[in-house]
Structure 1
């Protein structure tokens, strides 16, 4: 329980820094009292349990694959985080800890017993029934282990325990990038006792039926694409023209972004069946447009800003330039003091793993260490030279705010550079710019028509 007594507050701060927004939809659902089994998708390895644990008041025990417990250091970390090993056939047949089928069954039977005892104490357990973590917008086939644990625990108490299952969709909008967004989408709970009659007749059928209900509950709380090509198209549409497709988007919530992502994906499926030629045209036009923007070092937002009236353009450019000039000293101060601890986590993560789903948790843990050590050492160094605690305290308090300012300044500077490139293109190559704008307008027209056709078809289906 070391995680909950010592580490949880630190991880809460680290996650608030790592993610630009970490939003929980219907947060009361995540506080349902135990006994409770939380089941979620698993796109981001160790990051997934962390984002759930810091958002639930009661402690959670996590079922994790046994390979995490083979390294002594990692084992100590996992056990301090209240994790329970689960033994999978593929791990014990190929890993360092080889077990016979009988030993494997006995190990997992003992683990099931630990879970039953935990539920008896009205505890909360989380399991990822996909059985593996892959950083894709998918929901892989679910194993029946979660359902079998829940049904076994209730059966032991004649289905009078009151155990509930909470389906939890975990959505990352750009999981490998610092200051991206994460959206937790818990659903209504499932009463395990509702499966009592079926379980008494056929335990296997009950486990299959409960697993299927979990799958259905998870699917509606996730953005799911079928393959890389579909995922690429949907993300191109969302990131480039999302504000045009969803003009009423509320920037204070991620739910609108989630709804847009699901609508785009469902629209792709609809046009693939009913108007494949229209879908192919959108894909072709969008790919060509984005390719040309990349060649020119532009963004769609910068190109659109270049269409404003010269007077408006000049006024905005003057204000932006003034802010950049006045803010440069603060940016430089923040960048110098934060550059090394900021860069090291990504460098370590890229060298430590080639698996995309491990990058974010490694960056998080490394960042906690680098920033903590850097801030302490830099503060000690300042005190050594000044011998004045007032200046030392002011310096220490300035580190984090100026670091965030430096990151924001850099992002604004990149935006300004893209806009200057767009203005230069407008002046030097008006014919090429006009062609790009026509291409952009044509894509927006295609997307607008597709959106109207899709919404009309969906309305007709509901009627």
Structure 2
């Protein structure tokens, strides 16, 4: 029975690969547009090369990861995913629609491992045709605070693809780091950081002598390139330390405004430096690290008291700046509100389905967004069709066409209004609590100065030991 199911997965791999470029680009654009509604998406780094490219990315968010690559890559690409996902009703349907290629793992079903030859052949055929292929060399989605050990599959595909073309294919390996904030929530944030793409033809001699050694060398190279575009810490607790340290240090040094929301792409290089510093300090002075963590925790508790889940609390507010900000934001919210309110009413039912159906599944944190997204991709278009048909039956074609045009626009208005009102609501809360707790505001400023001094001293000591 398992062989029959596997045959269904692998049958038609070449047919999927023969989709026209136009259709593939349309699918990529639609999926990318949808994921940019679900998340606030940023992109950093050079463009994706032309020709055959093997995209290697970290894997923190299940099916969402290839969708983010679709949105930010600028060209179609086919994702490889573990075979059991193709048997799931929701996720499997989405993967097949995206031209996914199943990977058979020993821990899933050792009897099907031989079918990986078909998948590898399909991936290599796609590369030989000049296409881009996505692979997630960690092997599975996870919520660990750092990369998990990289497997050799990506290296073996890349090396074999080049070897079969006598090392004249010109294949590039493209590292992509995916970093999320609130990855399980609607309108969470993600940055796709594209590192420098690199060729592999320098490994020809080693590959011809010993394929395993060449695969190991390339796997290690992929690991290093992925580490350069991702945030890696040893413990989950370190993530909080690094995140808060960057928030207060960048504002203490006036790199960012106190209530300014700097993008993850801007923050990632700074947080990588802090992560390196934490690793160094844990090695040379673990007691000082624990003291630093405690000071940061106190700062974070006080920051939370003011309701500042993002940014920081200004040491002082200027009256006219508060007035100007309030008037500008109120004006923008009032302009968008009528259309956003219409959208809230019109899209209420699919929104409720998306929000409350996904918790019915027993999901890990890295799977929640995938189920929400796939349910939304089914519920919202179906509801749009039903709404248009109902209006057509009762009010005719003209009004039905008008509804068909207005509903998507009202949905975009909801997103714009949601993002702005969330920001304004937090800014207002922080401001009101500074009026209520002025001494707490002063205490925050003292903590910030103390921590900035401590970080400066640690950086000097760290640089002296490099």
TM-score with structure 2 setting the length: 0.81
Equivalent pair of 1:164/1:190 in contact (CA under 8 Å): yes
Instruction: Report the more deviating stretch, 452-461 or 171-180.
Output: 452-461
Instruction: Measure the CA separation in 2 of the matches of 1:404 and 1:110.
Output: 42
Within the candidate set 177, 193, 200, 2:201 is matched to 193
Equivalent pair of 1:44/1:134 in contact (CA under 8 Å): yes
User: In the TM superposition, what is the alpha-carbon distance from 1:328 to its structure 2 partner?
Assistant: 6.1
Within the candidate set 348, 363, 370, 1:354 is matched to 363
Within the candidate set 61, 65, 83, 2:78 is matched to 61
SS at 2:174 equivalent: strand
Within the candidate set 419, 426, 436, 1:425 is matched to 436
Equivalent pair of 1:41/1:128 in contact (CA under 8 Å): yes
User: In the TM superposition, what is the alpha-carbon distance from 1:461 to its structure 2 partner?
Assistant: 6.2
**1:308: which partner in 2?**
317
Equivalent pair of 2:261/2:311 in contact (CA under 8 Å): no
Equivalent pair of 2:31/2:70 in contact (CA under 8 Å): no
Instruction: Measure the CA separation in 2 of the matches of 1:38 and 1:72.
Output: 26
Q: 2:297 matched to 1:287? A: yes
Are residues 167 and 409 of structure 1, via their aligned partners in 2, closer, same or farther at CA, if it must alter by over 3 Å? Answer: closer
Within the candidate set 251, 270, 277, 2:280 is matched to 270
Q: 2:151 matched to 1:143? A: yes
Are residues 123 and 396 of structure 1, via their aligned partners in 2, closer, same or farther at CA, if it must alter by over 3 Å? Answer: closer
Instruction: Report the more deviating stretch, 168-177 or 81-90.
Output: 168-177
Task: List runs of 5+ in structure 2 lacking aligned partners.
Answer: 1-15
Q: CA RMSD in A?
A: 3.5
Instruction: Report the more deviating stretch, 260-269 or 331-340.
Output: 331-340
Q: 2:51 matched to 1:33? A: yes
Task: List runs of 5+ in structure 1 lacking aligned partners.
Answer: 94-98, 427-432
Equivalent pair of 1:234/1:264 in contact (CA under 8 Å): yes
Q: Deviations over 1:75-118 (max 9, x none)?
A: 5543332222221111114xxxxx1xxx63x3233433333333
Are residues 292 and 72 of structure 1, via their aligned partners in 2, closer, same or farther at CA, if it must alter by over 3 Å? Answer: closer
Q: 2:226 matched to 1:209? A: no
Q: Deviations over 1:212-243 (max 9, x none)?
A: 11111111111111111111222233456654
Instruction: Measure the CA separation in 2 of the matches of 1:425 and 1:114.
Output: 64
Equivalent pair of 1:167/1:187 in contact (CA under 8 Å): yes
Q: 2:455 matched to 1:445? A: no
**1:46: which partner in 2?**
63
Are residues 62 and 334 of structure 1, via their aligned partners in 2, closer, same or farther at CA, if it must alter by over 3 Å? Answer: closer
Are residues 384 and 401 of structure 1, via their aligned partners in 2, closer, same or farther at CA, if it must alter by over 3 Å? Answer: farther
Instruction: Measure the CA separation in 1 of the matches of 2:445 and 2:293.
Output: 15
User: In the TM superposition, what is the alpha-carbon distance from 1:4 to its structure 2 partner?
Assistant: 2.1
**2:40: which partner in 1?**
20
Are residues 445 and 210 of structure 1, via their aligned partners in 2, closer, same or farther at CA, if it must alter by over 3 Å? Answer: same
Equivalent pair of 1:330/1:406 in contact (CA under 8 Å): no
User: In the TM superposition, what is the alpha-carbon distance from 1:320 to its structure 2 partner?
Assistant: 6.0
Are residues 320 and 85 of structure 1, via their aligned partners in 2, closer, same or farther at CA, if it must alter by over 3 Å? Answer: closer
Instruction: Measure the CA separation in 1 of the matches of 2:311 and 2:197.
Output: 45
Equivalent pair of 1:332/1:406 in contact (CA under 8 Å): no
SS at 1:89 equivalent: coil
Q: Number of matched residues?
A: 442
**2:382: which partner in 1?**
373
Are residues 161 and 373 of structure 1, via their aligned partners in 2, closer, same or farther at CA, if it must alter by over 3 Å? Answer: closer
TM-score with structure 1 setting the length: 0.81
Instruction: Measure the CA separation in 1 of the matches of 2:104 and 2:185.
Output: 32
